[in-house]
Amino acid sequence: MARAARPRIKEADVRKQVVDYLRITGWFVYHNLQGLGCYPGLSDIVAVKNGKVVHIELKAPGGKQRKDQIMFQENLEAAGGIYVLADCVEDVMHLNKDGPGR
């Protein structure tokens, strides 16, 4: 008997889980819409709590950043910003354990 294929987790599923978790734990979260005039590689979502601002790039499990996303991450971190690459809700849970700032 053949095994049933496991459903593939999509980036939209990861986004819903991450956004729901962050909002439940008190974060203000918004989704960045990519488009004309948008900074290349801009993160998918931004989360803010107690003065801490975090840019979060979401991927389906196994997904990879594009070159412009890597450049955005490098530029943001060089300016002192916080960036998280997440392919599951567990990747953002540490944000609630860290103190203000980094």
Would you list the domain boundaries of the chain?
Answer: 11-96
Can you list the positions of beta strands (E) in the chain? Answer: 28-31, 45-49, 52-58, 82-86
* CATH of segment(s) 11-96: 3.40.1350.10
- Grade residue 8 by pLDDT with cuts at 50, 70 and 90: confident
- Between the two ends of the chain, the Cα-to-Cα distance in Å is 51
Residue 101 has pLDDT above 90, yes or no: no
DSSP letter for each residue of the chain: -PPPPPPPPPHHHHHHHHHHHHHHTT-EEEEPPP-TTPPTT--SEEEEETTEEEEEEE--TT----HHHHHHHHHHHHTT-EEEEESSGGGGGGGGTS-S--
Q: Cα–Cα distance between 8 and 96 in angstroms, integer?
A: 28
Give per-residue pLDDT as tens, 73-100.
999 999 999 999 999 999 999 999 865 4
Condensed to tens digits (0 to 9), the pLDDT of residues 49-71 reads 999 999 999 999 999 999 999 99
Task: State percent of the chain over pLDDT 90.
Answer: 79
pTM, entire model: 0.87
Contact 47, 95 (CB under 8 A): yes
Mean pLDDT of the chain: 91
